Structure 1
Amino acid sequence: MSNILITGGAGFIGSNLALKLINKGHKISVLDNLSVQIHGKNAEIASPLFLSIKDKVNFIKGTVTSKEDWQQAIKGQDVIVHYAAETGTGQSMYEIQKYVDVNINGTAILLDLLANEPHQVKKIVIASSRSIYGEGKYKSKELGYVYPKHRTANYMDDGDFEVKYEGSSALELVATDEESKIHPSSVYGITKQNQEQMIMTVCPTLGIAPVAFRYQNVYGPGQSLKNPYTGILSIFSTQIKNGNSINIFEDGKETRDFVFIDDVVDATILGIEKDEANNEVFNVGTGIPTDVIEVANGLISNYGVEVPINISGNYRLGDIRHNYADLNKIKSKLGFEPKFDFKKGLKRFTEWVETQEVQEDKYMQSIEEMKAKGLFK
């Protein structure tokens, strides 16, 4: 048994992790500010995520930007799983100070306290992100493995969305491993890179074992259906349930590695419980790329609701084209093996959505915000 603090533990991944750790006999504390964007209004009586852990954890309503809240939360903890963060690529490009304050400064406060005040923390697990890789890893016939720079508007305005690399013909997408180049293309990605590097650099000097998980696109029952800024499956589901058309960016052939929530929780628990994870960074995904058109068609098929699919050619600055995880390291060191392929996970997700109240579709509101900032083309 360990005393484990989960920051952001009322969120999607955090609450699922908390419940499984409780079942394994651990004592869980949660520090969370119950963000309205994720939980809606009156979260303490209306948020399914919060209610799933209520009275099962030691809950501290607070923020990682507060030294006092951190001090209260850290007391008596053996392990900290740090999930609390502002998320979403698009939103990060115009709420820059907010993302830096929460993601970077919040982590800095934690490390400053651990460096300067008594505690019993032995391990910290940090939620990193595939976003730190920017564009993924590619193979060039002429140059071998390459890491393309961010795409630019001069190509995408003409409907050419694939990545380019100077001196190379067309590139072949390959899995991104943990030794790949770190070059995020969004403020969100920059903050996750910074979080990871601070934890992995400072913790060993304090006698604390750090573990970083670079999660791919996490989905599953329980994720917020209210948030129009992040979570493509939730955004599309809310559009479908409202009878609205699905707007697909670019040409719909952009891909992501969609990893089911149960697999993410299992991987994280391996990182908490296994000493082999100490001082290591791991990808967490399925190792399989899935394009956005397949996501949209799968959702429509599962819900049995026909809505138009609009492949718009629009794009967001800061979005990547492709990225999927190389899982060799986490498989060999921790014995992790994803149990859910996309078809199986999507079925579980859509069955859960069918039991939920239909949420207001705020997608266009988020698009208008990005348009106003010059980030949506």
Structure 2
Amino acid sequence: MKTILITGGAGFIGSHLVDKLVAAGHTVRILDNLDPQVHGQAQKMPAYLNENAEFLKGDVLSKEALKKALQGVEIVYHLAAAVGVGQSMYEIYHYTRANSLGGAQLLDVIINERFPIEKIIVASSMSIYGEGKYLCQDCGVFYPRLRPLSQLEANQWEMKCPHCHHDASPLPTDEQKPLQPNSIYAITKRDHEEMFLTTGESYQIPAVAMRFFNVYGPRQALSNPYTGVCAIFASRILNNQSPVIFEDGHQTRDFIHVSDITAALITAMEKSTADYKAFNVGTGQGISIRDIALQLIERLGKGNELSPQIVGKFRAGDIRHCFADITHLKSNLGFEPATTFEAGMNDLIAWAAEQKPVDNFDEAITELKKRGLTY
């Protein structure tokens, strides 16, 4: 049994990880600043938080908070981060400080205070890829940057081959794809990977980076308009508002249930074959944003009242397709997701139906429009 620190352990993914580790008999400590955007202005400890874990309110930017939190710890999960692609493009300093400097402060304290950490697992993100991997039937595999503005203004949504300009087909994105982050948030997640893996190799502290795809499930912050698309859509629907979809709704993402994310995180801790590597953590299947909206509307009992609002507009930095190739995860860790999309969606719906979220979507979109980030 290990003594484990989870930064951001009061959040969506962190709290589920806490539950699984406590149930397995580990001693778990949480360090979390209870960010008001996630936990509300009262910054109260969430009711779902496991009472058998030790909770410390504090920020990863605080050296003193980290020194206290790291006492006696053997394993560190670094999940603490400011989350939100769009928001990161106008709160640049905040995201860089909270994420890049927060991760740097944690590593600095571990190294310079000589804490004997056995392993560090850091949360990365599929956003570091930018666009996914594509195949042109005539020209082969390519790794594109963002679609040109002229193409999007013409409502031509699918990715085109840069050589013959024909529509290309998306392929599962593997870890060898060049990293092309196109938001401040994504850049800070790349920072996390590179800082933690490099520091780990230099000091012989096994480090692992887990590239989460689109995580969904109970405890997502439904009132946070910068969280995952499932939570944003659910919040709209529960407030009798249609989910808003950019482009044509046929863009695809890889949706993975939080229980599979936490299981992968624990496997990464337990297996030395994970050490000093980065892994995609997804399902390997792409699902369209439109299909997600339709499923949520139907399962939340609003099928006769609401339908997706497909606006045909686009946002700066949006990608078309990205879903995971999980071959590396399977071959190195012997791990693959166990939760079907249907079962996972049932779990999310059962929880969401009992919530009373505030719909802040319009406010968030107004902010993006004001700053010229929607078209």
Q: Could you tell me whether the CA contact under 8 Å between 2:221 and 2:227 is conserved in 1?
A: no
Q: Give the equivalent residue in structure 1 for 2:144.
A: 148
- Residue 341 of structure 1: how far off its partner (Å): 2.3
- Residue 152 of structure 1: how far off its partner (Å): 3.0
Return the letter of the residue paired with 1:78.
E
TM-score (norm 1): 0.96
Q: Whole-Å Cα distance in 1 between the matches of residues 4 and 264 of structure 2?
A: 16
**CA RMSD of the aligned region, Å?**
1.2
Segment drifting more, 15-24 vs 220-229:
220-229
Q: Give the equivalent residue in structure 1 for 2:353.
A: 354
Q: Give the equivalent residue in structure 2 for 1:182.
A: 179
Q: Could you tell me whether the CA contact under 8 Å between 2:207 and 2:275 is conserved in 1?
A: yes
Matched, 1:364 2:362: yes
User: 1:16-27 alignment to 2 at 5 Å?
Assistant: 16-27=16-27
- Residue 117 of structure 1: how far off its partner (Å): 1.5
Q: How many residues align?
A: 372
Return the letter of the residue paired with 2:18.
A
SS of the residue corresponding to residue 205 of structure 1 reads helix
TM-score (norm 2): 0.96
Question: Residue deviations 1:50-108, cap 9 Å, x none?
Answer: 32225321211111111111111111110110000011111111111111101111111
SS of the residue corresponding to residue 107 of structure 1 reads helix
Q: Give the equivalent residue in structure 2 for 1:224.
A: 221
Q: Give the equivalent residue in structure 1 for 2:279.
A: 282
Return the letter of the residue paired with 2:196.
I
**What percent of counterpart residues are identical?**
43
Return the letter of the residue paired with 1:217.
N
Q: Give the equivalent residue in structure 2 for 1:5.
A: 5
Return the letter of the residue paired with 1:303.
L
Q: Give the equivalent residue in structure 2 for 1:238.
A: 235
Segment drifting more, 346-355 vs 285-294:
346-355
Q: Give the equivalent residue in structure 1 for 2:207.
A: 210
- Residue 197 of structure 1: how far off its partner (Å): 0.5
Matched, 1:120 2:119: no
- Residue 13 of structure 1: how far off its partner (Å): 0.3
Matched, 1:33 2:33: yes
SS of the residue corresponding to residue 375 of structure 1 reads coil
Matched, 1:327 2:323: no
Segment drifting more, 337-346 vs 183-192:
337-346
Q: Give the equivalent residue in structure 2 for 1:97.
A: 93
Return the letter of the residue paired with 2:238.
K
- Residue 319 of structure 1: how far off its partner (Å): 1.8
Return the letter of the residue paired with 1:322.
H
SS of the residue corresponding to residue 226 of structure 1 reads coil
Q: Whole-Å Cα distance in 1 between the matches of residues 343 and 22 of structure 2?
A: 26
User: 102, 105, 127: which is aligned to 1:109?
Assistant: 105
- Residue 243 of structure 1: how far off its partner (Å): 1.0
SS of the residue corresponding to residue 52 of structure 1 reads coil
Q: Could you tell me whether the CA contact under 8 Å between 1:90 and 1:370 is conserved in 2?
A: yes
Q: Whole-Å Cα distance in 2 between the matches of residues 226 and 133 of structure 1?
A: 27
Gap regions ≥5 residues in structure 2: none
